[in-house]
Copies of this chain bind each other. A is one copy, B any other.
Amino acid sequence: MSFNVAVLGFGTVGSGVAEVLSMNRDSIARKTGKDIVLKHILDLRDFPDSPYASLVTHNADEVFGDSELNVAVETIGGARIAYEYTRRALTAGISVVTSNKELVSTHGVELLKLAEEHNCSYLFEAAVGGGIPIIRPLYKCLAANKIIRIAGIVNGTTNYILSKMKEEGISYGDALKQAQDNGFAEANPSADVDGIDAQRKLSILSTIALDGNYIAPDRIRTEGISSLTLDDIKFERKIGCELKLIAYYENRGGLPSVYVAPHYVSSSNLLSSVGGVFNAISVEGNALGESLFYGQGAGMLPTASAVCGDIAEVAVTGGVPSEPRLWKDEGTEIACYDDVEASIVVRADGNLTELSAAFKGYKFRTLGVDAILVESIAHRDIGALVSKVNGAKWLHYLA
């Protein structure tokens, strides 16, 4: 039985989807009982040299009017045309599969509802962690857990830059330039280096962790990596840590805390070993304890792998999702960032005595001769204490 797919947006991920469907066609057919056929490619451009040139159309009506179309793959990106086309497909009862974290994190509530109303699916395994299975395990395998904590390296570009700064002893600016030259960072790198991409992914993860109670990206306090210095990086060695941009969610019964920030990650934590463009997400459930998912967080084929896994799911379910996946936007309360207690590292060259004095009301331990690790302090109290010590600087710490 054939099962027809349209790819909307034939860029990196879209062409990866075509490639994966082609190279693993037999194997996917064995697993799903369906022959997956790429039928349309909707794009503004032509691709005369592509083996799929004959499938390319510029006419959206042709695609969405095709009554034999089973699933649309939205790999356009952004939240404008992608939004319009996704609405159009779902309204026509065509399931949509996407890697578009911006669209899912900003319009997920509405689009999931639209899918349910039209008895089809809106799936986005590829939107977080690229090829790493994380969305489905969170929904399905951890269904019997309350999610207590998520700590993830979810942006490969920033992880690559931090790895480069460390390995080659170069500045943030030089490492960013290398990332751009090697295709790991955009000409305008803001979405990555300012943590926006991580913020969107954390919006999706924390909404799922909260059983669908939506946390909009703009509610997530976010700090990127652009103000990190080579000194910050060099310091990690002194204290047995690695500096990583961490998307952090914690919910131990009070209000959930959700933020993105650079963290010194202890070398005893597996996240510290995740280098280059890899991603990893640690999830703690109240029954499971800690588990960790690691793999390639971006790239054509890994991301396409996740997209095609979702296509296979639509092929076997017929697009009727088995479990309720609705999100609710009812103003879920989250903890005020200023109130959230965090572990931090504060350093000040040769000023250990002053540091210890400034933080004497808190439980802390010294790290070498230049720094202290404060176990738990409210964000609102950090600034004033740090500013008491000449040249002091602080960053988050993850044990």
Name A residues whose Cβ lies closer than 8 Å to a Cβ of B: 16, 20-21, 23-24, 27-28, 30-33, 125, 131-133, 136-137, 139-146, 211, 270, 273, 285-296, 299, 301-302, 304-309, 311-313, 316-317, 322-324
Contact = CB atoms under 8 A, between A and B. Distances in A.
Given A291-B132, A323-B316, A144 B24 contact: yes
**This protein's copies in its complex:** 2
A291 B294 contact: yes
A286 B144 CA distance: 31
Given A133-B142, A141-B306, A288-B296, 13 more contacts: A20-B144, A32-B323, A132-B291, A133-B140, A137-B141, A287-B308, A288-B305, A289-B299, A289-B302, A290-B295, A290-B296, A312-B323, A313-B322
Contacts of A146: 24, 27
9 contacts: A24-B145, A143-B308, A143-B309, A287-B302, A287-B308, A288-B306, A289-B295, A292-B292, A292-B294
Contacts of A301: 287-289
A309 B21 CA distance: 30
Contacts of A131: 285, 287-289, 291
Contacts of A311: 144
A3 to B, nearest CB: 13
A304 B289 CA distance: 11
A107 to B, nearest CB: 22
A352 to B, nearest CB: 31
Nearest to A30: B211
Contacts of A139: 31
Contacts of A291: 131-133, 293-296
Given A31-B323, A309-B143, A287 B24 contact: yes
Contacts of A308: 143-144, 287
Contacts of A30: 211
A178 to B, nearest CB: 21
B270 A21 contact: no
A143 B287 contact: no
Given A133-B133, A133-B291, A142-B133, A316 B322 contact: yes
A313 B144 CA distance: 10
Contact of A286 (B16, B23, B136, B290): B23
Interface centre among A133, A136, A286, by most chain B C-beta atoms within 10 angstroms, is A133
Contact of A211 (B23, B31, B289): B31
Contacts of A270: 270, 273, 294
A285 B313 contact: no
Given A295-B289, A296-B290, A296-B291, A136 B145 contact: no
Nearest to A272: B273
Smallest CB-CB A-B distances: 5 pairs: A144-B308, A291-B295, A133-B141, A287-B305, A143-B312
